Amino acid sequence: MRKPNHDPTLTVLNFNPQIKGVGRYFPVRVMRWEGSLWLLSKDAEAALGWSYGTLTAHLSTRLPGDAWGYANVLTERGRELLRFVSLAGLKATVTRTRDRQSWAFRRWLHTLA
């Protein structure tokens, strides 16, 4: 992922797993870059129900470097360097997950364009 030539803006999408035992929404911050959707990896990790660092390990070992990257984004706390994963890369990462929350997240990913 190359550095955007404009200031990327974040949009928040809410993921609701709609499964018994998980009664909350997960905010997932996304940005559009070069026509594709990129999701903040920290938010995607929480929505999947994975512990911190699990998605990072998957990204570095299973995906090519152009499927994930870093962007310097203006947030409430100022400029931050955040890690993003492409929609296609995230779909490829969660294809073999087996728990219910991950299945629900995978179905939600297919609704995004």
Q: What percent of the chain has pLDDT over 70?
A: 92
Q: Say yes or no to pLDDT of 6 above 80.
A: no
Amino acid at 78: G
Mean pLDDT of 100-107: 89
Q: Report the half-sphere exposure of 22 (CA within 13 A, side-chain side).
A: 17
Q: What is the pLDDT of residues 29-48, one digit of tens each?
A: 999 888 889 999 999 999 98
- DSSP codes of every residue in the chain: -PPPSS----EEEEE---BTTB-S-EEEEEEEETTEEEEEHHHHHHHHTPPTTHHHHHHHHHS-GGGEEEEEEEETTEEEEEEEEEHHHHHHHTTT--SHHHHHHHHHHHH--
Mean pLDDT of 6-17: 81
Q: Say yes or no to pLDDT of 4 above 80.
A: no
59: phi then psi, degrees, rounded to nearest 5: -65, -45
Q: What is the pLDDT of residues 58-77, one digit of tens each?
A: 887 878 778 898 998 888 88
pLDDT-based confidence at residue 3 (cuts at 50, 70, 90):
low
Q: Say yes or no to pLDDT of 109 above 90.
A: yes
